[in-house]
Amino acid sequence: MDKLKITGGARLNGPVRISGAKNSALPAMAACLLTEGELILENMPMVNDILTTRRLLRELGAEVEFDGGNTARLKATRIASHEAPYDLVKTMRASVLVLGPLLARFGKARVSLPGGCAIGARPIDLHIKGFEKLGATVNTEYGYVEAVANRLKGANIVFEKITVTGTENLMMAAALAEGQSTLVNAALEPEISDLADLLNKMGAKISGAGTSVITIEGVETLHGATHSIIPDRIETGTFLVAGAISESNLELTRCNPSHLSGVIEKLREAGAVIEEGADSMRVRGGNELRSADVITHEYPGFATDMQAQYMAMMTQAKGISLITESIFENRFMHASELMRMGANIRIDGSRAVVAGKSRLTGATVIASDLRASASLVLAALVAEGVTTVDRIYHLDRGYEKIEEKLRSFGAQIERLK
């Protein structure tokens, strides 16, 4: 298993180009199952979750080719299987996104139940209830969800709780249903709007994406399209924290500051100096940081996917900060590793109390999930001495060329094979 060796204390300076959003690219790839036509997806992040999705789609019978850069061509003229097997779903929960498209176009889908993961139980009951509302018969047995339907029928679906991939799955299914569907209490994340844009380019009739009520007028068939994936707001936020906690002057290019307003506001409250351009940002570090409480929230609130990185930053802020995780029940696994580096953190249920500023020192730490890994890398950038981050396959799932990017502006970071 690869590890990252990071020597802290370097001054970071330079530009970094933000990649396409993993969480937009994953549903966009699944959308290829909705049509015989070819999808050309640009600005794709070449991260491991994308390669896992390629494997899954190929197993289903789709053709998926990457051009060696950041463009993917996907075509599912016909499919060979309706099943997303356990070994793929267990490595990537977003595999569940094939359920809606397979069911809508082929009337049948069988997907392994994802089960819990390092950040929480993460059931998919709301996806299932939605498919039932659209007229599917759904059975859960032998560890699999099996859904069948003739043509899906439009319905009014009210989500009891906001779910990002649930909204995406139902939006894709409803796009090919007969008649009109409404998704009420839909997720507002930019990734939802990006998927709706793609589906509309494919001939879908979706309005209201980006608001809590999405209306979908079902169509008989969809066609191919070309689409460019939006910038990754979590990668952007991670680099903003990298700049804020170290002696830095970083320029983030090809990003969308308007997708990060909740995060930018909080980082500024904590003392970060951030300038926003139309599609770029500059962050300057070296100022004294101050503690600022945060509660994670669905978009446009402070993203749960930025909580771990923010915790690393709060270890370097003066005072006590209270970090409340309201989306996932077990997303503090990074705290104990940060403590091994010298952080002063107490976990109390869904709240973490961070007392700063702590002197961090290098240690061998273990990454437990994608964003936890990022927080350990950030802490390592300011720790004295050498930190080795183990199990960075988590990091490779969602950050494109992270060590190359960090090294390009001066971080001392090396991958140990």
**What positions carry a catalytic annotation?**
117
Smallest distance, ligand EPU to C-beta of residue 91, A: 13
> Does residue 387 belong to the site contacting ligand EPU (CB under 6 A)?
no
Smallest distance, ligand EPU to C-beta of residue 26, A: 5
Number of residues that make up the chain: 417
Q: Which of 57, 251, 398, 411 binds ligand EPU (CB under 6 A)?
A: 398
For 23, 190, 363, the CA distances from 244, given in Å and listed in that order, are: 25, 24, 22
Would you state the structure tokens that stand for residue 21, as one six-digit string?
A: 């959003």
Smallest distance, ligand EPU to C-beta of residue 299, A: 7
Number of amino acids touching ligand EPU (CB under 6 A)? 24
Those residues whose C-beta lies under 8 Å from the C-beta of residue 389, and which sit 6 or more positions away, are 3, 4, 6, 365, 366, 367, 373, 376, 377, 380, 395
In single-letter form, the type of residue at position 260 comes to: L
- Annotate 243-300 with DSSP letters as a single string: HHHSSEEEEEES--GGGGHHHHHHHHHTT-EEEE-SSEEEEE--SPEE---EEB-STT
Nearer of residues 310 and 409 to ligand EPU, judged by Cβ: 310
> Does residue 124 belong to the site contacting ligand EPU (CB under 6 A)?
yes
Q: Which of 327, 352, 360, 378 binds ligand EPU (CB under 6 A)?
A: 327
Nearer of residues 165 and 248 to ligand EPU, judged by Cβ: 165
- Annotate 332-354 with DSSP letters as a single string: -HHHHHHHHTT-EEEEETTEEEE
Smallest distance, ligand EPU to C-beta of residue 42, A: 19
What is the rounded CA–CA span in Å between residue 410 and residue 332?
29
Q: Which of 3, 12, 16, 23 binds ligand EPU (CB under 6 A)?
A: 23
From the list 344, 334, 416, 332, the residue with the least C-alpha distance to 374 is 334
Smallest distance, ligand EPU to C-beta of residue 410, A: 26
Site string for ligand EPU, 275-314 (x = CB under 6 A): -----------------------------xx---------
- Report whether 251 contacts 14 (CB < 8 A): yes
Site string for ligand EPU, 70-99 (x = CB under 6 A): -----------------------xx-----
Site string for ligand EPU, 155-194 (x = CB under 6 A): ------x-xxxx----------------------------
Q: Where are the alpha helices (DSSP H) in 120-225?
A: 125-133, 164-175, 190-201
Which residues of the shown chain bind ligand EPU in the complex (CB under 6 A)?
23, 26, 93-94, 120-127, 161, 163-166, 304-305, 327-328, 370-371, 398
